[in-house]
Amino acid sequence: MTTPLQAIAELDDLKLDLPRFEQALHQFAAKLRLDLAAFTADHISLRCHQNSTAERWRQGLMQCGTLLSESMINGRPICLFDLSQPLAVGPWRIDCIELPYPGEKRYPHEGWEHVELVLSGDPQTLYARALSHLADEALLAPGIKLKQSSPKGEGERLPNPTLAITDGTVTIKFHPYSIRDIVASEQGYPGSAAQASAKRSRASSSRAHRQPKLSRTKRRSPKSRPALNPTPARSKN
């Protein structure tokens, strides 16, 4: 039986913070005239100031999910957790949580910080396509900030341009590939990280099964092998 996030003692503060985040998210989306239900949210992200908080959340998330990936990005660990039970957030059921360890930047709030929406298409046109979904007057409103970035973990093969828009309370990000595709690209396999691991296991098993066949083939043709200790010819007297 799987345990939901809301039942984990180490995550009590996140359970209490979720209604605040959802309300702020809906208010921000309304200001942007952005229909959240028209998009797929592939993950939700946290922010904290102390390593001790990150470690506590990590311990809690391991009780309601599994570690999908851990990468160094901009000099700090970024962990992704695959939830056993999806988390209801706005119009979505999100099954992946991002936990960045603290860096040099300090955030105004510890807890839920952003959702990331998948905008499939050419990565080179991501910024223009994302902006086309946002109201012009909202982008010019005081306190609204935009940021373009291309975060990349070690070994990732897919480009990951990202457009973030924030009002200082909540952030919405757009990127062209789902986070699971990004993680899978680290191993060079399509599909999820679990599928990549399964493929490696099957390949290893297949090699193990093929090995005895090679041995039997060698036993059937002993004459083809040179003698290890050839007997020298005797001279006739």
pLDDT at 176: 95
pLDDT at 198: 38
pLDDT at 155: 58
Q: Which two tokens stand for residue 151?
A: 């975060």
Instruction: Kindly report the average pLDDT of the chain as a whole number.
Output: 82
How does pLDDT run across 153-177, given as a tens digit for each residue? 555 577 889 999 999 999 999 999 9
Closest to 153 in 3D by CA, of 174, 132, 126, 179: 179
pLDDT at 17: 98
pLDDT, greater one: 27 or 236: 27
Full-model pTM: 0.76
On the question of pLDDT at 8 being above 80, the answer is yes
How does pLDDT run across 110-166, given as a tens digit for each residue? 999 999 999 999 999 999 999 999 999 989 999 999 999 887 655 557 788 999 999
How does pLDDT run across 53-86, given as a tens digit for each residue? 999 999 999 999 999 999 888 889 999 999 999 9
Residue 44 pairs in a beta bridge with 97, 115
Q: What per-residue string of b and e applies to 219-237 under the rule 16 or more CB within 10 Å gives b?
A: eeeeeeeeeeeeeeeeeee
pLDDT at 188: 57
CATH superfamily of 5-187: 2,3-Dihydroxybiphenyl 1,2-Dioxygenase, domain 1 (3.10.180.10)
pLDDT at 75: 85
Helices (H), the chain: 12-32, 51-63, 126-131, 136-139, 179-187, 193-220
pLDDT at 42: 96
CB half-sphere exposure, 100, CA atoms < 13 A: 24
SS3 43: strand
In the block, residue with structure tokens 């083939």 = 217
